[in-house]
Structure formats: C-alpha cells, structure tokens
C-alpha cells in the first residue's frame, strides 16, 4: 500500500495489517514468541527464526511506518534513542562529523555529547533555520549527517527541509529529520528531500502514553538494508506487544492530530493575550520567524506549545506545579495534556551547555480533552 493509491488515514489503518490469513482476524495477532519452529535445517518458515531478527507483529508496524511516511522501508526500535543510536552507528564511523540543531532535544544532545563523542564522532551545533550557519558548520569530507528537528523540542523552531536536503546532498551528507513533533500526518520529510525520518513512536504515533518505541523510515532501499543489519546486530528492537500497541495508536493518528491542533490553536490564542506570558512559541503564529516555512511544509502546526513566563523561572515552575488537568510529566503526544519545565525535566542534560533552554520556559503537550476545560486549568495555573 502506498500514498499513490490510498489516503493517509487508509494507510494508517490498513498498511501492513491485512486480516490474518488463517483465522480472518481483522487485527494483526501479537506474535509473543522468541523463536520459531523450522521446517528443516536452514529452512525457517516464512523466514522467521528468532524474534530479535524478525517478528510478524513488528513487521506489520514497520510496513505501516514506511507507508505513512512515504518511504521505502521502516524499522522499529525499543525507543527513539535506540533508533537514533542505530542510525549513527550505521552511517558514521569514528572520526566522522554530524551537524545537529543548536536547540536539539536533551536526550539527543546527551547521546552525542556523552556517548557518540566518546566513540570518536564529532558534532557541531548550529541554528538550522540559518543556512549560512549550517554551511559554515559543515566539514567537507567528514560531515556524514545533517541532523534536523522541525519543529524543534522545546523551542519549536522551524528548519526548511528541502533547503537542508539540498545543502546536505551538495556536501555528500545525508539529511535525517526527527519528525516526532509534527507526526507523518502533518509533515512527510522524505517527500521534501530528506533521506531518513526519525520517530519516538512513544509520542504521537503511539498516542496513549502506554508504550515506548522508536522508528526509522528511509527513502533508499540500500540504506534500509544497512539499517536492518544493524538493527539485528545491535538488538534494540521493540517487543511484539509494544509493536501491536503502536499499530493500534497509528490507526487513529489522523483524527487525534486534528483535535490536538484545534485545541493548541485555541490555547495559543489565549496565552498570546495573557499578561503573565512574555511570549508564545508556536509555528502557527504569524509572528513566528519560521511561520512561512512551516506553512509550506506542514499541513497544520501541531499540538506542542511552549511559552515564556513573564515572571521568570520561579513563575514558570509555579505554573507547572499549579496545573491540575495538565499533568506535570515528561513526554508528549498522548491524548492527555501534559505540562513541564524543560530546564529541569526533559532538557536537564543540556544544562550548562550552549543548548541550555531558557529557565522561564514552559512546554505544553496539548491533548484532546474538551478545550474549555484546558483553558480553565491554564487560567487557574497562571493565577
């Protein structure tokens, strides 16, 4: 199934998920097994021999991921960071170089600065909305990946995917785009020239805060084969029940994202007028510096909203602590609304570095509750 033949919601519901041929079950079974009986030595049935190497439930998820991102191959992992690590160690070697966003997700920054750097991989942080700065950060012959997030986490900056793809390919590098914040429903980087799409499937794809996972989708089948080899060799795969939960979440991704966006737009309008809010960070605002680029490459602007408290760090923390319906928790993309203080929570690993986030920043993952209830909660939290 491809986007050439079917719409997004049809792919989300059906790609990789044909009725079970033996029983007719409409939902793919959970193949909760570690190993498989073989018909003869060297003749595994349907190619399955061990569930690290292949599992029918995970294969269904991988096929669905590829379909909804418009890619040639999808791969599922135990977490988003496991997917990132596998990509880095497939494409790069010690001595190579990567350009990352200067406001990257804290876990991504930690992976580069505390893990990959010790392995011999160098990196440079640059504002990816400034092509001249990205160009200056490239190291000819050494840079193997331009690593993008758009929108970024948590500052919601926007990078021009097509322009970055052109720049990467001119220098002999790949463009990898973390599409977690937008989801494939709002943005498909491979169709804009990216080589690899990265997901924390924990977030919008799973959608219910009940499963951890990651994904890679690639445009080139050869790169897909290399990644699949490393997926098996490194072993950070997700289990069949996790794959099944993620597939279940993807089925409703489109309708959920519509509500996430509707609610976020109402909340942005409210926060933009509130005297205790210094500024609102949301690419759907005309005043956002990346608004035009976002409008070009996204169908809508997503359910993530950040704002800076007019009263500084202490007020930002107080807002987080006073919220009731907005749950004080890390992560994002679930049906329930979440609030957090990135400086002390998801991005604490970047504290003291050039990627440290503002201390007065509050991040909202806007859920799909009745929006008037969410607005009332923000009203009392802001005092």
- Active site residue ranges: 52, 105, 178, 203
Q: Name the one residue in this structure whose structure tokens are 């200067």.
A: 102
Report d(CA 46, CA 41) in Å as an integer: 14
Q: How far is CA 104 from CA 33, 111, 148, 149, 291, in A?
A: 37, 11, 8, 7, 19
**Residues near 119 by Cβ (< 8 Å), separated by ≥ 6?**
89, 94
Beta strand 338-340 with 361-365 is antiparallel
Backbone angles phi, psi at 26, to 5 degrees: -70, -35
Backbone angles phi, psi at 182, to 5 degrees: -80, -40
Closest CA to 78 of 223, 231, 218, 237: 237
Tell me whether residue 140 is exposed, middle or buried, using C-beta atoms within 10 angstroms of its C-beta: 0 to 12, 13 to 18, 19 or more: exposed
Tokens representing residue 215 in the block: 């994904």
Report d(CA 332, CA 330) in Å as an integer: 7
Tokens representing residue 382 in the block: 């802001």
Beta bridge partners of 175: 146
The torsion defined by the Cα of 128, 276, 370 and 153, in degrees rounded to 10, comes to 20
Q: 217: helix, coil or strand?
A: strand
Of the CA atoms within 13 Å of residue 311, those in its CB half-sphere come to: 11
Beta strand 73-77 with 327-328 is unpaired
Report d(CA 219, CA 64) in Å as an integer: 14
Q: Residue 281 carries which DSSP code?
A: E
Closest CA to 128 of 383, 355, 367, 287: 355
């Amino acid at each position: 199934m491809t986007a050439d033949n079917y719409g997004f919601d049809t792919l989300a519901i059906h790609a990789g998920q044909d009725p079970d041929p033996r029983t007719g079950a409409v939902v793919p079974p959970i193949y909760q097994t570690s190993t498989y009986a073989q018909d003869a030595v060297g003749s595994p049935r349907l190619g399955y021999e061990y569930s690290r190497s292949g599992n029918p439930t995970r294969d269904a998820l991988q096929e669905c991921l590829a379909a909804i991102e418009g890619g040639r191959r999808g791969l599922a992992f135990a977490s988003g960071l496991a997917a990132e690590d596998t990509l880095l160690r497939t494409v790069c070697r010690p001595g190579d170089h990567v350009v990352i966003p200067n406001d990257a997700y804290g876990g991504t920054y930690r992976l580069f600065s505390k893990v990959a750097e010790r392995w011999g991989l160098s990196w440079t942080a640059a504002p990816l909305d400034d092509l001249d700065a990205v160009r200056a950060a490239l190291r000819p012959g050494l840079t193997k990946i331009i690593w993008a997030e758009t929108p970024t986490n948590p500052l919601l900056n926007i990078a021009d995917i097509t322009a970055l793809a052109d720049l990467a390919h001119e220098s002999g590098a790949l463009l990898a785009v973390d599409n977690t914040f937008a989801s494939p429903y709002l943005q498909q980087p491979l169709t804009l020239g990216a080589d690899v799409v990265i997901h924390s499937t924990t977030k919008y794809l799973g959608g219910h805060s009940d499963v951890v996972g990651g994904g890679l989708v690639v445009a080139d089948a050869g790169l897909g084969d290399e990644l699949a080899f490393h997926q098996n060799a490194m072993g950070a795969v997700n289990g069949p029940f996790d794959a099944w939960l993620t597939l279940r979440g993807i089925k409703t991704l489109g309708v959920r994202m519509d509500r996430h966006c509707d609610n976020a737009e109402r909340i942005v309008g409210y926060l933009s007028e509130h005297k205790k809010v210094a500024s609102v960070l949301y690419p759907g605002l005309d005043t956002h510096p990346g608004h035009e680029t976002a409008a070009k490459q996204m169908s809508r602007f997503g359910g993530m909203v950040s704002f800076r408290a007019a009263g500084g760090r202490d007020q930002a923390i107080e807002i987080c602590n006073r919220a009731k319906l907005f749950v004080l928790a890390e992560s994002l993309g679930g049906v329930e609304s979440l609030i957090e203080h990135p400086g002390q929570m998801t991005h604490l690993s970047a504290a003291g570095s050039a990627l440290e986030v503002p201390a007065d920043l509050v991040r909202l993952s806007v859920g799909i509750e009745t929006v008037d209830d969410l607005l009332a909660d923000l009203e009392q939290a802001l005092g």
